[in-house]
Amino acid sequence: MAAIFEATCTAPVNIAVVKYWGKRDTSLILPTNSSLSVTLSQDQLHSKTSIRASADFTTDRLWLNGIEESIEKNKRLVACLRETRALRATLEAENATLPKLAGLKIHICSENNFPTAAGLASSASGYACLVYTLSKLFELPLNASDLSVVARQGSGSACRSLFGGFVAWEMGEKADGSDSRAVQIAPETHWPDLQAMICVVSDEKKGTSSTEGMQLTVKTSALLQHRIKDVVPKRMDDMIAAIHAKDFPKFAELTMQDSNQFHAVCLDTYPPIFYMNDISRAIIRIITEYNKDGVKAAYTFDAGPNAVIYAPKENMAEIFSILSHYFPGAAFDDSLNLVKENPEKVAAGLPQNFDARISPVFAQGAVKQILHTKADDGPRTLDSAQHGLLNAAGLPK
């Protein structure tokens, strides 16, 4: 049997507070504006990938969540493989003692620890994990920013998942994309009490994909041009300043304004794109009412109806109690001990002087699941012998 080379890693999900929406180059995935996100904990949500290179393999193969998928048909995946193999080939040319991995076939096995059906973005963690794992397998001497340039070509938002904490994707200006990369604004340890609550909203319809939706916006929305030129550059500066100062009210205001404007440019797209539904809009009203005497929470929505609520740790029990009032029956995993540590607060119902009439109480299961998580670290490397996803034959375990 030939020698085995293998790496296993996990990578996190990130949720943008200044949204990426629109490409100026669709094959290199170069955006029309810079964006900024918070990396969420892998303890709750992550992609995990094992990649093995072996002279015994006759073709490159890929399994996603247990199902074999074609590699050739996926141009973005092919680009990530091509780039990392070329970097490995250069290393091998410079150092004759290195094992020759660049020319070997590989098996890739990747899975998410959250259901794809929940509608949570998995392309960001998935591509970040793919590229990070390839860099470990090939022992590439690249930093996270350099790797983000490769991950960006898998999915734009993936470039931000190469770092923990608070991460900007600088749009860059070069045609080759070499300056369109992620940089860390602050590590997760800078603001340890920033937490997030993800409301998985029930929705039967399959929405427009981000990839398709954003290009229709680029083609048809006049409001997007205003956003790109006049709004985002200043908002990026303000957001970075708010994060450095740990100014939650400012951070929250900018986050909500940016989510609102992202959904406004979707509505300004022709024909219009709707990602939020009645449940999403009720969550906006609830958070707005909660914030009426001072900003204590921020909502944000991506290309789907799910809400992500950012708030300081001390407000989370109250927020959970309010959400439980309007959305009965949501499944909740208490891995951060919110219920365990705050039994009275989470059962308190609505706070005093909260105007209950701002939204009806929804039917059981309108919000299917509530996930409590926090800002946390970037990709992690695991021991393949213990945690690998491939068996001795190089097939999924």
The residues of the shown chain that bind ligand DP6, judged by CB under 6 A, are 16, 19-21, 29, 35, 121, 123, 155-157, 210-211, 302-303
Choose between 54 and 210: whose C-beta lies nearer to ligand DP6. Answer: 210
Q: Is 138 exposed, middle or buried (0-12, 13-18, 19+ CB in 10 A)?
A: buried
Q: Measured from the CB of residue 215, what is the shortest distance to ligand DP6 in angstroms?
A: 8
DSSP annotation of 40: B
Question: What are the structure tokens assigned to 78, written together?
Answer: 């092919």
Q: Measured from the CB of residue 230, what is the shortest distance to ligand DP6 in angstroms?
A: 19
Q: Measured from the CB of residue 363, what is the shortest distance to ligand DP6 in angstroms?
A: 28
Choose between 18 and 101: whose C-beta lies nearer to ligand DP6. Answer: 18
In the chain, at which residue ranges do the beta strands (DSSP E only) sit? 5-12, 14-18, 23-25, 30-31, 35-39, 46-54, 61-64, 67-69, 105-112, 166-170, 181-186, 194-201, 298-301, 307-312, 331-333, 367-374, 380-382
Choose between 184 and 315: whose C-beta lies nearer to ligand DP6. Answer: 184
Choose between 262 and 362: whose C-beta lies nearer to ligand DP6. Answer: 262
Residue nearest to ligand DP6 (CB): 156
What's the CA gap between 12 and 42, in Å, rounded? 5
Q: Measured from the CB of residue 156, what is the shortest distance to ligand DP6 in angstroms?
A: 3
Q: Measured from the CB of residue 155, what is the shortest distance to ligand DP6 in angstroms?
A: 3
Q: Measured from the CB of residue 38, what is the shortest distance to ligand DP6 in angstroms?
A: 11
Q: Measured from the CB of residue 55, what is the shortest distance to ligand DP6 in angstroms?
A: 33
CB 316, CB 290: distance < 8 Å: no
What's the CA gap between 340 and 335, in Å, rounded? 9
CB 180, CB 30: distance < 8 Å: yes
Choose between 202 and 210: whose C-beta lies nearer to ligand DP6. Answer: 210
Choose between 137 and 266: whose C-beta lies nearer to ligand DP6. Answer: 266
Q: Measured from the CB of residue 24, what is the shortest distance to ligand DP6 in angstroms?
A: 12
Among candidate residues 229, 254, 224, 228, the one with its CA nearest the CA of residue 241 = 254
Q: Measured from the CB of residue 356, what is the shortest distance to ligand DP6 in angstroms?
A: 32
Between 144-151 and 123-137, two packed helices, what is the crossing angle to 10 degrees? Answer: 120
What separation, in Å, do the N-terminal and C-terminal C-alpha atoms of the chain show?
Answer: 19
Choose between 19 and 374: whose C-beta lies nearer to ligand DP6. Answer: 19
Phi, psi of 383 (to 5 degrees): -85, 120
The pairs formed by 311-316 with CB atoms below 8 angstroms and a separation of 24 or more are 311/194, 311/195, 311/196, 311/197, 311/248, 311/252, 312/193, 312/194, 312/195, 312/248, 313/193, 313/194, 313/195, 313/374, 314/193, 316/195, 316/197, 316/372
Choose between 135 and 210: whose C-beta lies nearer to ligand DP6. Answer: 210
What's the CA gap between 347 and 356, in Å, rounded? 16
Choose between 42 and 157: whose C-beta lies nearer to ligand DP6. Answer: 157
Choose between 123 and 369: whose C-beta lies nearer to ligand DP6. Answer: 123
* Measured torsion, CA atoms of residues 31, 32, 35, 41, in degrees rounded to the nearest 10: -30
CB 44, CB 38: distance < 8 Å: no
What's the CA gap between 13 and 38, in Å, rounded? 9
Q: Measured from the CB of residue 81, what is the shortest distance to ligand DP6 in angstroms?
A: 17
Choose between 21 and 163: whose C-beta lies nearer to ligand DP6. Answer: 21
Q: Measured from the CB of residue 79, what is the shortest distance to ligand DP6 in angstroms?
A: 12
